[in-house]
Amino acid sequence: STQGMIGSLREAFDGSWVLCVTEWCLENGVGTTELGELERLRGEFEERGVRIYVIGVGCSREKIEAWPADIHAATGYNITFPIIIDDGALADELGLSASADHRRAMDNSHRLYFLGPDSRVRLILTYPFSTGFSSFEILRCFDSLLRAEKCEAATPVNWVPGRDVILMPDVDNADSLRKFPAGVRSVELPSGRAYLRLSPDPLGPEDLLHPLPPES
């Protein structure tokens, strides 16, 4: 990688939440802006306990090692997360590209993966090669995942932190007020089924702080 050898990705992830991004680095102007944006938001990810790893697919060592300078020139940010050098074999092995065909892989491997502390994939965002990601959406998705993980809460359409959440179906009514002490209200529906149960956001800014473990 651009920060030296990584012997094992599982050991590198170290039981943390991980954002893993696959980027084609062959004259990839979209990816250049994206990686600068990830660095700009590095503090937001660190507060949430999220490590960032980028897999640079289909590129030589020389081109990947030269990429951080381009990112700095284009965005003003010096990236501090590693870009893993991959000729395509790692992305294929991990299932991060849909095809070995170069053009099709470029169309399908521009993805972001959130992995939980157990290294299981929790969310995948896929973008066409021509479309840069939304950094707001990435953070919003993680904040939603955190509520599902810690509070058994789902988040409705266009949700942002601070708005009401939806109780998961497996939270029974008898236990709901213990888990959601701010109160629970059911939306009356024509079906008569009380499956849309809302509660104020159970997490505040202080609850999102989950510092990363120290580097070994």
94 Cβ contact list (under 8 Å, min separation 6): none
User: Of the ranges 21-35, 93-107, 187-201, which one carries the lowest mean pLDDT score?
Assistant: 93-107
Return the amino acid letter for 180.
F
Cα distance between residue 59 and residue 81, in whole Å: 18
Q: Which residue has the higher pLDDT, 136 or 60?
A: 136
Confidence (pLDDT) at 61: 74
Cα distance between residue 189 and residue 41, in whole Å: 41
Rounded to two decimals, the pTM is 0.80
Residue 99: pLDDT band with limits 50, 70, 90: very low
- pLDDT, mean of residues 69-74: 90
How many of the other CB atoms lie within 10 Å of CB of 19? 23
- pLDDT, mean of residues 72-83: 90
> In this structure, what token pair is assigned to residue 180?
């959601």
State the average pLDDT for the chain. Answer: 80
Closest C-alpha among 15, 84, 23, 100 to residue 49: 15
- pLDDT, mean of residues 51-80: 84
Relative to beta strand 83-86, strand 153-154 is unpaired
Confidence (pLDDT) at 95: 58
